[in-house]
Structure 1
Amino acid sequence: MPTAFNTAEFRRSDGPVAHNAATAWGGGSTGKGVTIAFVDTGIDVDNPEFAGRISPLSKDILNAGRDISGSDNHGTRVATFASAARNDSGVVGIAYDSTILALRTDDVGSCVPGSSGSASGCLFSDGAIADAVTYAADNGAKVINISLGGDGATAQVRNAVAAAANRGVLIVLAAGNGGEDEPESFATLLDTAAAGGVIIVGSVDANGALSSFSNKAGAQNSHYMAALGEDVCCVYESGTAYLLSGTSFSTPQVSAAAALLAQAFPNLTGRELAEILLSSAYDVGAPGTDAVFGRGILDIAKAFQPIGTLSLAGSGAPVALADVTGAGASAMGDAFATAALPAIVLDKYRRAFETDLAGTLRGARPAERLRNAVGGQQRQISLGSAKISLAFSIDASDPHLGLRQGDLHLGIEDAEQARVLAARVATRLAPDLAMGFAFAEGANGLVAQLQGQDRPAFMIAQEAAGDTGSLNRSDVSFALRKQLDGWGLTFAAERGAILSGAEIRRAYEMRGRQLESGASTYSVAFDRRFGDLDASLALSLLAEERTLLGGRFHDAFGLAGADTIFLDARLGWELAAGWRLGAALRHGQTKVHSGGLVARGSPISSTAWSFDLERRAVVAEDDALGFRVSQPLRVEAGALNLLLPSSYSYETLLPGYAVRELGLSPTGRELLVELAWRGFLLEGSAAVSLFYRADPGHYATLPDDTGAAVRWSREF
């Protein structure tokens, strides 16, 4: 509860305390501008609790020339629990800023002067009540409180209530004080007539038990709820404080709660006000709707929470705040940890709520590099001649060793050690022209082989060239290399998919699957050897259909993909016999496709780099020891500009928009250091690796990762 409301006056006010009214007050909802009509015995116009808020349209419905203050205090007491002022005196009503339309409807001479809090001493005709309901609807009342009852209701009053409900007015009725299993027939008949535009209110005590005098929900349970109506503090009269009991006094608390909602969400009809209050009631008694408590006990705080499926204002696309609306890519690391994306969402009743969508974003899970390096069980098969070569691997974990299309992929040793093309098929068309095709493998390995690169075989730390900073699946790739007077010119293309690094759950699409979207890569590379120095420079385009460097966002954002230009530079230097120094640098510039909620701009830059030193023939002629330091692709600067709803007009039912920047640069920076040995051991190929990994996945808060890996394989 906001501390500003924790006053002596508030603590004396049982109804606002019991029903969590201060939550709505803290958000600015006090009933201001909303008219509550009280069809009753009039109101004390001199009571300071109502000063300045009694509508000048208040009147004696019977036009008998009577003062609206009346001779009975029932109407004044009812209005107190709904609308008493917040003035540090007496008690405060739930809708303390609301406008009071007092409609005196008691029959002339029927009230006994000075009678008790009950209106039982007064008589009311259905004709007067019907006229009051119609008058209230004609004069701007949003809520009509009728803390009256009786047996039966004429067609005249039923028609008046139905007409008011059809005009968007909510009618709130007392269940009655007979301790019966059903509300009084006056209330049940009007409920039926209003077809959802009525709430019938029973009474509970301070412990939430139904008051012994209160009529129960009975057959009207779907439109019945309860509020505090037993020993409710306090009404001050002639220096005396009175505790009051009766459904007459629980009813205005529900009316006042409706006024708070009507102020906050002026688009709501009376029937929608009823649905919200009833569906948000605190469930007591038998689970769900029951014949005693109906829908439960009034809970104003819950009534002000979103209900049903949410959507971004203006888009209509569903957004589940409990689910994930954005999944970052590996290159973005922990960028979402400090993000803020304020936006307006609408619930099923078109009520606008401000939320921070950043709370629904998730970063990509850091890659399990050790498991990826040694976790698979594979059999590599390669064969070839001077003009053509083939290579593939089979998943050896399959007990039947079945060859399945989706399981085909090439091992690192085939690509970088065995000098066999990292592809399905490669062929030399002419002495200066070679071509390769790959299935389920990327173009990077094809290019490396066509260029004749001799890369050190590291298990954990990857080379910077070709790092996309995302989880990729390659379906098919192609490369063509032409030798031109000492220069090599290589064209390559690849088609595959980007896999999301974290799930985005969309109820109409996802069933625990990992999302994937199409992506294509096109590249051109130049390479040349200058004595002991070999170098290559490549320019590539990564075209993503629905992702951003592998990051994915909910359909409501309308992300239509991105294009990234990567510049790759590689150097290799045979600095001495058996010694090789290598370096690679990748720099990317990403342009996000605008459209939907994605605003223009959003330039993003990213880098990856690696340095390595290799010594061949360390303990044997055919072994090698390598040392590498690398940084995987990381977004260095840039943000995704989103045009998000920032305000909402209930007059036009349209949102206003503002550009929000979602920073994509992480605070962490992953650094990988690996010492790797490879060679022949025990008639097989062996590899040993020791590695250290700082800020895994570019997450600054994750502990550093260290480990070792050993791999051994043998030809059969």
Structure 2
Amino acid sequence: MRRSDGPAFHNATIAWQQGVSGQGATIAIIDSGIDIDSPEFAERILPESADVAGSRTINGIDDHGTNVALVAAAALNNEGVVGMAYDARLLVLRADEPGSCTGGGANDADLDGCQFLDSDIARGIDVAIAANARVINLSLGGGTPTAQLSNAIARATQAGIVVVVAAGNDGDTSDPALDPDNPDPFAIAALQRGNGAVIIVGSVDDKGEFSDFSNRAGSYATGFLSARGERICCAYENGEIQVTQEGGQSFVTLFSGTSFATPQVAGAVALLAQAFPNLTGQEIVEILLDTARDAGATGTDAVYGRGILDLAGAFSPQGTTRLPGGSADSPSALALTDDIAIASAPMGDAMRGASLQSIVLDKYDRAYTYDLGAQTRRASPETLMANATRAGLRNVTVGGPGIGIAFSLDQRGQLEGETPLTPLRLSRAESDAARVLAARVALRISPKTQLGFAFAEGPDGIAVQLQGQDRPAFLLSSGAAGKLGFAHRDGQSVALRQQTGDLGITLTASRGEALTWAVRQAQGIVGNQREGYGFTRFGIAGDRQFGPLGLTLGTEWLREERTMLGAYLHKSLATRGADSVFVDGSASLDLGDGWRAGGEGRFGSTRAVTGDRIAGGSRFASVAYSVDLSKRGVWQDTDRLGLRISSPLRVISGGLNFDLPVSYDYATESAVYELRRVSLAPDGRELMGELSWFGQAFDGMLAASLFYRSEPDHIRNAPDDGGLLVRWSRGF
């Protein structure tokens, strides 16, 4: 391998590491024959090989054809050199005129003694067509070919064969009859008749510098590729590398010429043909030209043409990648840098390390193994104290006995990505007016019927307001009932409450948006704008008072249009949202003397709407709870001290079933699918304790909160979070 000039230089090892060696692909070499006894070609020379210029064997006198074959396909046998496509089959078509070659042939100049007739080359091309060759190597040159040969080249490319032809070795000539700034006429004619499946090949050295002897791309740069053709190792003798001794030192014979740059490209074609049998000849040529390593002037230029052959680029996905299948309703385009999934807060660390082995196709329908799980992540957590410490809001209320209206003015200047209105929290401790603020608009239609509307606030606050419940206020933690648990933006909400005897019935409905809380430039979303995906909520709850004990029991249906309990899935997974049903319960007990004990719980069951990629059985359950104890009138008539222990909504079981393509059949151009299961239950479990006090101080409202969280955001082994928050505010 260390003696092989081409495979490493052109990154053929990228293909080899994937098990691609040219096996099954046939390289037709129309040249001066081959050394049939060389172990480098053992058992890979096809029986269709023939002398197309006479009745001889294919065992040539000249070494030129042998050296071309070595560069293209010398065996990987731990001896000598190795070719680009070391397992490819060789169709050797000897086309030198009988008696014209004199032997040798280490360099292109030594081929000058051999003569090749256009009719014999054309005959060789037709044999290659009949033998289903994938590439024809023409390390030949000269004047403009006859119509017979040009037509043969056209037939070959129409049959799906790629033709690679040497640019010529007139680069350093002083002969005014020759044009070193363009390929020789033979190559130009082949390109012009090649139906987009011909590549002209020039030579570079081991540093990527263009060889002095090589014809340049000139006016034919768009079909010109450069490859290693200078000082190529090594000439063979009796099937082994030829070593000469001189002055006590050992030497090997190297050869140079565009003839030996050309089989580098022929071998590359064979590798692509094996790896991706669906490719047409034109597509293989397009890939090799488009993925060439830029050299010389930026872009396509008149020396290197499209650049230097680079198999690392050629074997990489091209164009827009996508999952196989898909429909108009489920677009399959999937950039490899796109987020596949973003877990919501209730899922915590569930998607960390998820494995979703699949395949994607590029624009040529080439299949690539891709772990979708590598592009999954959890949502960026909300800053715990962000809402509690925001300043610059002015709350304004108006109202009377039968109606209350509230709104807030944002005097801070709107931040990009933020709603201009901030939801107002319900808090009995913040005075009776606070309940009106939370309801935004509260109407008493009749003595037993109440109606509430809100903008930028969820339905749970309005419902509690209409029910007249007394809930303790906390700066950071919240109760469990009615809480979605994931980042969202509330839109419009409405609540209707009807009192029937001792039982109150409350109906709620609202619209909002689930937020992914992510900057996803790979999706074309730039800036800090948080994506919003719509959802609708409908709920019904009953409440009743039994002396000092108040009970509420309700259920809510959540319909998400694109998300699943707030989690984002890439559109190529054909997610159609999810349906969740929640059961909420709360209880409060008045213990007397200002003491109150309470608790809330929420249980949810979510079912993902099945689609092309989301299979049946994609269900998961979630739970949240909170318990609290509070005392009113501790040091002041209206102050309040409270203790709450809570755990926010967390998925406790279940997950998603993905029906993913895992392999690809090029014969039928169809994918094989298997189910992949991803659990959405996190390993971590957040528990939070908060001790808070609200009261009057310095002609304003003073609030203090001491809090502690273990495994915050349901992330196992995450550092514990704790602190003290003090907030003072004054109305005007």
The verdict on a shared fold, with TM-score over 0.5 as the criterion, is: yes
1:487 and 2:503 matched: yes
Q: Could you tell me which residue of structure 2 aligns to residue 407 of structure 1?
A: 420
- 8 A Cα contact 2:700 2:729, kept in partner: yes
Structure 2 CA distance for partners of 1:506 and 1:423, relative to 1, 3 Å: farther
Q: Could you tell me which residue of structure 1 aligns to residue 264 of structure 2?
A: 253
- 8 A Cα contact 2:199 2:285, kept in partner: yes
Q: Deviations over 1:465-496 (max 9, x none)?
A: 12212222222222122223322221211122
1:496 and 2:512 matched: yes
Q: Deviations over 1:267-299 (max 9, x none)?
A: 111111111112222222222222222222222
Instruction: State the 1:710 CA deviation.
Output: 2.7
Q: Could you tell me which residue of structure 1 aligns to residue 225 of structure 2?
A: 225
Q: Matches of residues 296-307 of structure 1 in structure 2 within 5 Å?
A: 296-307=307-318
Instruction: State the 1:30 CA deviation.
Output: 0.7
Q: For residues 511 and 366 of structure 1, what CA distance do their matches in structure 2 show? A: 18
Q: Which of 21, 41, 56 is the equivalent residue of 2:12?
A: 21
Q: Could you tell me which residue of structure 1 aligns to residue 637 of structure 2?
A: 621
Q: Could you tell me which residue of structure 2 aligns to residue 277 of structure 1?
A: 288
Comparing 285-294 with 259-268, greater Cα deviation is found at 285-294
- 8 A Cα contact 1:330 1:501, kept in partner: no
Q: Deviations over 1:212-256 (max 9, x none)?
A: 222222222222222222221223214624322111112111101
Q: Could you tell me which residue of structure 2 aligns to residue 386 of structure 1?
A: 401
Comparing 27-36 with 464-473, greater Cα deviation is found at 464-473
Q: Could you tell me which residue of structure 2 aligns to residue 145 of structure 1?
A: 137
Q: Deviations over 1:692-714 (max 9, x none)?
A: 23333223364333333332333
Q: Could you tell me which residue of structure 2 aligns to residue 5 of structure 1?
A: none
- 8 A Cα contact 1:217 1:290, kept in partner: yes
Q: For residues 166 and 416 of structure 1, what CA distance do their matches in structure 2 show? A: 84
Structure 2 CA distance for partners of 1:410 and 1:280, relative to 1, 3 Å: closer
Q: SS where residue 331 of structure 1 aligns?
A: helix
Q: For residues 266 and 340 of structure 1, what CA distance do their matches in structure 2 show? A: 28
Comparing 28-37 with 147-156, greater Cα deviation is found at 147-156
Structure 2 CA distance for partners of 1:374 and 1:648, relative to 1, 3 Å: same
Q: Which of 540, 563, 572 is the equivalent residue of 1:547?
A: 563
Q: Could you tell me which residue of structure 1 aligns to residue 670 of structure 2?
A: 654
Q: Which of 690, 706, 714 is the equivalent residue of 2:722?
A: 706
Comparing 660-669 with 99-108, greater Cα deviation is found at 660-669
Q: For residues 427 and 66 of structure 1, what CA distance do their matches in structure 2 show? A: 106
Q: Which of 66, 72, 83 is the equivalent residue of 2:56?
A: 66
Percent identity over the alignment?
47
Q: Matches of residues 330-409 of structure 1 in structure 2 within 5 Å?
A: 330-398=345-413, 407-409=420-422
- Give the aligned residue type for 2:641: L
Aligned pair count? 701
Comparing 228-237 with 416-425, greater Cα deviation is found at 416-425
- 8 A Cα contact 2:519 2:530, kept in partner: yes
- 8 A Cα contact 2:429 2:639, kept in partner: no
Q: For residues 660 and 413 of structure 2, what CA distance do their matches in structure 1 show? A: 49
Q: For residues 129 and 717 of structure 2, what CA distance do their matches in structure 1 show? A: 60
Q: For residues 583 and 102 of structure 1, what CA distance do their matches in structure 2 show? A: 86
- 8 A Cα contact 1:563 1:592, kept in partner: yes
Structure 2 CA distance for partners of 1:410 and 1:270, relative to 1, 3 Å: closer
Structure 2 CA distance for partners of 1:406 and 1:505, relative to 1, 3 Å: closer
1:98 and 2:88 matched: yes
Instruction: State the 1:47 CA deviation.
Output: 1.6
Q: Could you tell me which residue of structure 2 aligns to residue 312 of structure 1?
A: 323
| TM-score normalized with structure 2 length | 0.92
Structure 2 CA distance for partners of 1:648 and 1:135, relative to 1, 3 Å: same
Q: For residues 646 and 158 of structure 2, what CA distance do their matches in structure 1 show? A: 70
Q: Could you tell me which residue of structure 2 aligns to residue 213 of structure 1?
A: 213
Q: Could you tell me which residue of structure 1 aligns to residue 247 of structure 2?
A: none
Q: Deviations over 1:333-382 (max 9, x none)?
A: 22222111111111111111010112222321101121122224211122
Q: Could you tell me which residue of structure 2 aligns to residue 7 of structure 1?
A: none
Instruction: State the 1:677 CA deviation.
Output: 1.0
Q: For residues 117 and 320 of structure 1, what CA distance do their matches in structure 2 show? A: 47
- Give the aligned residue type for 1:282: R
Q: Deviations over 1:614-651 (max 9, x none)?
A: 12222211111112222211112221111111111111
Comparing 482-491 with 630-639, greater Cα deviation is found at 482-491
- Give the aligned residue type for 2:59: S
- 8 A Cα contact 2:35 2:59, kept in partner: yes
Q: Which of 119, 124, 131 is the equivalent residue of 1:127?
A: 119
Structure 2 CA distance for partners of 1:114 and 1:396, relative to 1, 3 Å: closer
Instruction: State the 1:529 CA deviation.
Output: 2.2
Q: Could you tell me which residue of structure 1 aligns to residue 201 of structure 2?
A: 201
Instruction: State the 1:510 CA deviation.
Output: 7.2
Q: Deviations over 1:665-706 (max 9, x none)?
A: 222323322221111112222212222233332233643333
- 8 A Cα contact 2:439 2:465, kept in partner: no
Comparing 51-60 with 173-182, greater Cα deviation is found at 173-182
Q: Could you tell me which residue of structure 2 aligns to residue 170 of structure 1?
A: 162
1:327 and 2:342 matched: yes
Q: Which of 577, 580, 583 is the equivalent residue of 2:599?
A: 583
- 8 A Cα contact 1:115 1:121, kept in partner: no
Q: Matches of residues 498-647 of structure 1 in structure 2 within 5 Å?
A: 498-504=514-520, 513-647=529-663
Structure 2 CA distance for partners of 1:715 and 1:513, relative to 1, 3 Å: closer
